């Protein structure tokens, strides 16, 4: 029984040295264990080979820009498409400019539906301004992360077993320090793996679609055209008066004659009085 425990402790220290060479502070025994770890790691590296039939882990990303006839109708069609194909819109922004209104959306798509959804989105546009598709193969990183996670968990289990058998405060503190570091490494690797799984499971399309609209000018933009139009109208009026100047002259003479006759009549009445 004692022999089994000694072998277990020696094995744990071997993993500890592999993960953190500073775990041992020196001495003949430490050097011997470190040499044993180096030999063990070399043999393990030669024996480990990536699994040939592992499915390819691919991250697909599309970037699409479309000109459409009606952005609101297009948005409604995209919402319907997402419900039918299991997609979801992770971010959305609507912008309105002087000459156009547009939507920008980030759509997450189950990887198996990427090509079909992309094809249907392209059919919604009157014109495709931009189309780019990027495929990133992360299979090697994925396999490496899984292997490192497995090793870290095995090392964590050995640290916990060793912690149960520690007798002195210094041993307990040293083991707990290394255990905390291993836990931190495990969380970091798990976070990266979860990210890769999410990106592989759901592809992404960065989508922009817009429509042109009639320009609505502001106050100052309307002042110039208004002045020009007013001046043009004044010139047309004056030219029109020139066309009827004889009638204006006759009307003026008639008014002058009528007023003169009126004044003469008033003077005669005053003399009679």
> Does residue 23 carry a pLDDT above 80?
no
Regarding whether 207 and 77 lie in a shared domain, the answer is yes
CA distances from 187 to 71, 93, 113, 156, 181 (A): 44, 34, 31, 12, 10
> Does residue 235 carry a pLDDT above 50?
yes
The pLDDT of residue 218 is 55
| pLDDT 10s digits, 133-173 | 999 999 999 999 999 999 999 999 999 999 999 899 999 99
> Does residue 215 carry a pLDDT above 70?
no
Residue 114 counted as domain residue: yes
> Does residue 42 carry a pLDDT above 90?
no
Regarding whether 179 and 118 lie in a shared domain, the answer is yes
Regarding whether 101 and 132 lie in a shared domain, the answer is yes
Residue 221 counted as domain residue: no
Is residue 9 very low, low, confident or very high in pLDDT (cuts 50, 70, 90)?
A: very low
Regarding whether 237 and 204 lie in a shared domain, the answer is no
Regarding whether 136 and 2 lie in a shared domain, the answer is no
Is residue 7 very low, low, confident or very high in pLDDT (cuts 50, 70, 90)?
A: very low
CB 211 within 8 A of CB 101: yes
> Does residue 179 carry a pLDDT above 50?
yes
Residue 120 counted as domain residue: yes
| pLDDT 10s digits, 107-137 | 999 999 999 999 999 999 999 999 999 999 9
Domain, as residue range, for 76: 55-216
Residue 222 counted as domain residue: no
**Domain count of the fold of the chain:** 3
Using a 10 angstrom Cβ sphere, with 0-12 exposed, 13-18 middle and 19 or more buried, the burial of residue 263 is: exposed
Regarding whether 153 and 135 lie in a shared domain, the answer is yes
Regarding whether 143 and 59 lie in a shared domain, the answer is yes
């Amino acid at each position: 029984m004692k022999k089994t425990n000694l072998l277990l402790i020696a094995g744990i220290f071997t993993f500890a040295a592999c993960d953190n060479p500073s775990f041992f502070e020196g001495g003949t025994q430490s050097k011997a264990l470190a040499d044993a770890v180096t030999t063990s790691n070399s043999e393990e590296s030669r024996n480990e080979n990536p699994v040939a039939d592992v499915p390819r882990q691919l991250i697909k990303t599309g970037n699409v820009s479309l000109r459409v006839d009606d952005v609101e109708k297009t948005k409604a069609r995209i919402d319907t498409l997402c419900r039918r194909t299991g997609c979801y819109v992770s971010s959305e922004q609507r912008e309105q400019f002087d000459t156009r209104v547009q939507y920008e959306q980030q759509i997450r798509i189950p990887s198996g539906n990427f090509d079909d959804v992309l094809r249907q989105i392209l059919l919604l546009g009157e014109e495709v301004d931009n189309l780019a598709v990027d495929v990133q193969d992360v299979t090697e990183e994925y396999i490496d992360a899984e292997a490192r996670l497995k090793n870290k968990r095995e090392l964590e289990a050995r640290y916990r077993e060793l912690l149960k058998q520690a007798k002195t405060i210094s041993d307990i503190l040293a083991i707990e320090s290394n255990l905390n570091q291993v836990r931190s490494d495990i969380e970091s690797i798990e976070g990266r793996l979860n990210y890769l799984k999410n990106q592989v499971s759901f592809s992404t399309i960065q989508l922009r679609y817009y429509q042109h609209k009639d320009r609505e000018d502001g106050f100052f933009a309307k002042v110039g055209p208004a002045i020009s139009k007013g001046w043009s109208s004044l010139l047309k009026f004056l030219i029109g008066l020139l066309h009827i100047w004889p009638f204006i002259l006759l009307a003026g003479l008639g008014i002058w004659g009528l007023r003169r006759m009126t004044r003469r009549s008033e003077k005669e009445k005053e003399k009679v009085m």
